[in-house]
Amino acid sequence: MTPRTPIDPDLIVRHNARLQKDLAADYEHLGTVLARRGVDLEAITARIQRFTVAIPSWGVGSGGTRFARFPIAGEPRNVFEKLEDCAVIQQLGRATPTVSPHFPWDRVDDFRELREFAHSYGIVFDAVNSNTFEDLPGRLSYKFGSLTHTDKSVREQAIAHNIECIEIGQQLGSRALTVWIGDGSNFPGQLNMSKALERYLESMRVIVAAIPDGWRLFIEHKLYEPALYSTVIADWGTSYICATQLGANVQCLVDLGHHAPTTNIEQIVSRLIQFERLGGFHFNDSKYGDDDLDTGSVNPFQIFLVFNELVDAELRRAPGFAPVYMLDQSHNVTDPVESLLESAVALQRAYAQALVVDRDALNSAQEGNDALMANRTLQNAVRMDVESAIKMARMRNGGAIDPVAVFRDSRYRQCKASARPQDLTGKSGIV
Ligand code: RM4
Ligand code: MN
Ligand code: MN
């Protein structure tokens, strides 16, 4: 079955026809530059063509801060409309064939229907996310925690929700559950830190027992927020310890925004690879905290350094290395479709640059303690203009050479503004 195409395919063809000649010239030039370094451009392009990252279902609506949310006309009002927007991103960008859903935000009556609907656009589901950081009317409150709450009945409610997420995930064809909890404390002394972690492990053991064969459970750590003094799963160390306590199918998920600003994230990635617990990523960028800005918009070098570790692991076939890539962003001032398109490209760029690192030269410089040459090897790669390889990969996959230009020209958002009438008064909130 050919997937449905929310954007007129002819528009992509027309746009590409205009840009193809320049792209061919740039691509040829890049091929010559890389050949001089002994790198085969076609092999790089083929790898970029296979690179994929999941879209967070909560990322296609306008985000907001705790002060306000400024919705845009035509944004999705439910999960079906979210999937339609994800299909636009995939049709134009060809790097995002998967969507990571969040419950209860994406709850529907018939999950089989939802899965079929996604398939009709060529989209499949990646890791399901549970939500025990928000209250639902008529349910027990998570004000003082969920999986680590002092009250057993609250813990049981949170456990049951996670198990339900697994069941939903099975219906959707997903293969992983990501657990991030907001549990922690706002005041020194508020929480017995050891008891809280004990309760976490106890609750998680029940959830892990419900993980089907072939599935993985990802633990996502976060330094602070909403708890502002301490969080129960604050860092990769806690996450790693819990993963090892809980079972071989439990791994750590690294959200780039969930660390103190100066943390060496690429070193965390390296450690988790080494000990076979790197489950996956939530990619985003930040200046101060969990800003959830577009990937690569603030610190593209950091993304490159993370990919340098990932490519190193890929090339040496590190045991147990199979991370899943997801975006986790909040788009407060841009059209989410455009931001997500650009973010996927930022990852492809980091990946391509990491692929052109001269690994032999890097290794000799490292072994010989030649710090300057080691760094220059990385700098040489990060300064490579790999745009034409990314565009070529996208075009060969059937996408647009300039996806944002096609998106704007399609007037998709303007059309949706009338098709999706809604109340545009701002409300605060993270999604
Ligand atoms: C959290 C965390 C989770 C995401 C929520 C919406 O800060 O990043 O991954 O599910 O936000
Ligand atoms: Mn996240
Ligand atoms: Mn976050």
**pLDDT (0 to 100) of residue 183:** 98
Res. 427: pLDDT tops 80? no
**pLDDT (0 to 100) of residue 426:** 59
Closest atom of ligand 1 to 253 CA is 9
% of the chain beyond a pLDDT of 90? 97
**pLDDT (0 to 100) of residue 428:** 52
Strand order in the sheet with 176-179: 128-129, 176-179, 216-220, 250-255, 278-283, 324-327
Confidence of residue 422 (pLDDT cuts 50, 70, 90): confident
Measure 430 CA to ligand 3 centroid, in angstroms: 10
Confidence of residue 248 (pLDDT cuts 50, 70, 90): very high
The model's pLDDT over 296-319, given as tens digits with 9 standing for 90+, comes to 999 999 999 999 999 999 999 999
Closest atom of ligand 1 to 133 CA is 5
CA–CA distance from 135 to each of 142, 158, 182, 263 (Å)? Answer: 6, 11, 12, 32
Please, which residues have CB within 8 angstroms of residue 403's CB and are 6 or more apart in sequence? 92, 93, 341, 394
Q: What is the mean pLDDT of residues 250-273?
A: 98
**pLDDT (0 to 100) of residue 270:** 98
Pocket of ligand 1 (CB under 6 A): 58, 102, 129, 180, 220, 222, 255, 282, 290, 328, 430
The model's pLDDT over 151-168, given as tens digits with 9 standing for 90+, comes to 999 999 999 999 999 999
**Ligand positioned closest to the Cα atom of 254:** 2
Measure 356 CA to ligand 2 centroid, in angstroms: 29
Average pLDDT value over all residues in the chain: 97
The model's pLDDT over 103-114, given as tens digits with 9 standing for 90+, comes to 999 999 999 999
C-alpha–C-alpha distance, residues 23 and 12, integer Å: 15
The model's pLDDT over 24-73, given as tens digits with 9 standing for 90+, comes to 999 999 999 999 999 999 999 999 999 999 999 999 999 999 999 999 99
Res. 431: pLDDT tops 90? no
Cβ(241)–Cβ(267) below 8 Å: no
Q: What is the mean pLDDT of residues 194-222?
A: 98
Confidence of residue 1 (pLDDT cuts 50, 70, 90): confident
**Ligand positioned closest to the Cα atom of 59:** 1
**Which residue, by CA, sits nearest to atom 9 of ligand 1?**
180
**pLDDT (0 to 100) of residue 430:** 52
Res. 126: pLDDT tops 80? yes
**Ligand positioned closest to the Cα atom of 255:** 2
Confidence of residue 381 (pLDDT cuts 50, 70, 90): very high
Measure 255 CA to ligand 2 centroid, in angstroms: 5
Please, which residues have CB within 8 angstroms of residue 238's CB and are 6 or more apart in sequence? 197, 221, 232
Task: Count the helix, strand and coil residues of the chain and give each as a percent rounded to the nearest 5.
Answer: 50, 10, 40
C-alpha–C-alpha distance, residues 114 and 75, integer Å: 19
Closest atom of ligand 1 to 257 CA is 8
% of the chain beyond a pLDDT of 70? 99
Cβ neighbours of 284 (radius 10 Å): 27
Substitution site in 165, 183, 228, 255 for ligand 1 pocket (most atoms within 8 Å of beta carbon): 255
Substitution site in 65, 180, 253, 326 for ligand 1 pocket (most atoms within 8 Å of beta carbon): 180
